[in-house]
Chain A
Amino acid sequence: MNHERSIELIHADLDGEISAEDQQELHACLESDASLGALRDDMRKLHDVLGRVESEDPPPGLRSRIIAAAAPQFTRRIVKPRRSILASILPGWPAPALLRYGAAAAFGAAIVAVGLKVGDLDSHGPADPGSLVGTMTSYRAPGAATGRIALDTAAITGSVGTSVQNGLVVVDFNLSAAEPVEIIADYGQSGLSFSGFAQFEEASASVEADQGRVRFTQQDAHRYAVFFSPSGQGNGTIEFQFLADGKLIHEDALEVPAKGRN
């Protein structure tokens, strides 16, 4: 009997991939060569040990992180962008008409809000810009990120990135939260002023911008963009707080590049 063939039969038997005919052949091999029995015992023991190793649970938040990361591509995949008259606004923006649509809607609303409530405004933006909700039918990341925060907590996962486009600072919130998470972006010392807010179609968040802070609530996987414009001297830093049930779960900061502030 060929030794190599005997080994193949032993492994095939342990792997459950042996035919009845080969089983008989294996039986004959084992009877004719006692050393094969020891090999089979060793391999069986190895099978048993390997079988006792349990699967590990993936880290919390991995699933939502994957789904959140795919979401923008999904939208690109399934939604055919539509042209808009607003495409002419913010020319040269890489995310083109659709993001411009959202931004422009927000700017328009901002102008209206400023016009109506000028007496209530602070230097950072409108006091009640709840109507500053631009809606996008699609979304693409607005240019190369200049800064990025990655979040992978039990409550919220995803990323927050900054980029500069056409003199505006864009803060891109690409996050997913199973339960509502309040997000506060404090730009009070940054030398920036709030300019607008855009979001995915069907998302329904609204934003508050007041006293140098932008607040909104994140739930599920949605992507939002907040726009700022340079308004004076500052440290260029936007500080972020993430709160669940009123408790701080994460804080971080992003520095806006100087060219976005000049």
Chain B
Amino acid sequence: MHIDADAKLVEDCRNGDENAFGVLVGKYEKPVFNAALRMLGDRDDAADVTQTAFLKVFERLDTYNPDYRFYSWIYRIVINESIDVLNRRKRTTELDESRMPTWDTPESAIRQSQLSATMQEALMTVSADYRTVIVLKHFMDCTYREISSILDIPEKTVKSRLFTARQLLKDRLADTGLF
């Protein structure tokens, strides 16, 4: 990650450079979308959350502290937005089958697609707290310290959640042939 470059882009946004915002969106659109997708298991919701996260970033540019990494900031926003969506879902329906992950599977990518779908189904069976640390560690490549900063929890708690989450995920995947 180019931390200085991101801080410069944020500064340029603050100064009215619309292109700088476009560059930030281009750079982080995919990871932010994937974080939301793994949290939510639904592409439409993930796209909406991605858009909301970037707009919140834009609205809060003046509050951005360049001492912190930009991606930590936006990951925190996307995780919080995703959890809000999960909470709203919980309120509206106990189990909506249409929300279960569905993945297009072009023949050329069917194995990857099946792996992705199987993993997503397993992820959706663990609680949001556990899913969050798995997403940040394995899909966003964050360190323990970064996860601690993003979630604002002690590093010790990050480790504890991660170890439990992995054990749960392994158990869920045990019957799928992946283990």
What does DSSP make chain B's interface, helix, strand, loop or mixed?
Answer: helix
Residues of the A chain whose Cβ atoms lie less than 8 Å from the Cβ of B22? 63, 67
From residue A95, how far is it (CB to closest CB) to chain B in Å?
19
Residues of the B chain whose Cβ atoms lie less than 8 Å from the Cβ of A252? none
Which of the 9-residue segments B54-62, B65-73, B78-86 touches chain A? B54-62
A141 on interface, CB distance cutoff 8 Å: no
The A/B interface has a contact count, at CB < 8 Å, of 96
Which of the 9-residue segments B3-11, B91-99, B124-132, B159-167 touches chain A? B159-167
Distance in angstroms between the alpha carbons of A65 and B51 in the assembled complex: 8
Contact assessment for B170 and A46 in the assembled complex, using a CB-CB cutoff below 8 Å:
yes
Contact assessment for A63 and B43 in the assembled complex, using a CB-CB cutoff below 8 Å:
no
B157 on interface, CB distance cutoff 8 Å: no
Beyond A70-B58, A73-B58, whether A57 also contacts B30 by CB under 8 A is: yes
Which residue of A is nearest B58, CB measured? A70
B114-164 CB contacts (< 8 Å) to partner A: 115-116, 119, 134, 137-139, 143-144, 159, 162-163
A25-47 CB contacts (< 8 Å) to partner B: 42-43, 45-47
B29, B51, B116, B179: which contacts A42 (Cβ < 8 A)?
B179
Distance in angstroms between the alpha carbons of A53 and B115 in the assembled complex: 7
Contact assessment for A8 and B163 in the assembled complex, using a CB-CB cutoff below 8 Å:
yes
Contact assessment for B159 and A11 in the assembled complex, using a CB-CB cutoff below 8 Å:
yes
Residues of the B chain whose Cβ atoms lie less than 8 Å from the Cβ of A45? 170, 179
Contact assessment for A69 and B116 in the assembled complex, using a CB-CB cutoff below 8 Å:
no
A259 on interface, CB distance cutoff 8 Å: no
13 A-B pairs with CB atoms under 8 Å apart are A42-B170, A46-B169, A46-B179, A47-B138, A56-B34, A58-B33, A59-B43, A62-B47, A62-B50, A66-B55, A70-B55, A74-B18, A74-B58
Beyond A51-B138, A55-B34, A66-B55, whether A78 also contacts B16 by CB under 8 A is: yes
B21 on interface, CB distance cutoff 8 Å: yes
B112 on interface, CB distance cutoff 8 Å: yes
B→A interface (CB under 8 Å) = 15-16, 18, 21-22, 25-26, 29-31, 33-34, 37, 43, 47, 50-51, 54-55, 58-59, 112, 115-116, 119, 134, 137-139, 143-144, 159, 162-163, 166, 169-170, 173, 178-179
Interface residue range, chain A: 20 to 34
Contact assessment for B119 and A59 in the assembled complex, using a CB-CB cutoff below 8 Å:
no
A→B interface (CB under 8 Å) = 7-8, 11-12, 15, 17, 42-43, 45-47, 49-59, 62-63, 65-67, 69-71, 73-74, 77-78
Which residue of B is nearest A68, CB measured? B51
Residues of the A chain whose Cβ atoms lie less than 8 Å from the Cβ of B166? 11, 43, 46
From residue A201, how far is it (CB to closest CB) to chain B in Å?
13
Distance in angstroms between the alpha carbons of A66 and B23 in the assembled complex: 12
Contact assessment for B21 and A74 in the assembled complex, using a CB-CB cutoff below 8 Å:
yes
Distance in angstroms between the alpha carbons of A227 and B134 in the assembled complex: 51
Rank and list the top 8 A-B pairs by shortest CB-CB distance, nearest first: A78-B16, A58-B33, A50-B138, A66-B54, A55-B34, A70-B58, A66-B51, A53-B119
A11, A58, A69, A73: which contacts B163 (Cβ < 8 A)?
A11
Which residue of B is nearest A45, CB measured? B179
From residue B136, how far is it (CB to closest CB) to chain A in Å?
12
Contact assessment for A67 and B21 in the assembled complex, using a CB-CB cutoff below 8 Å:
yes
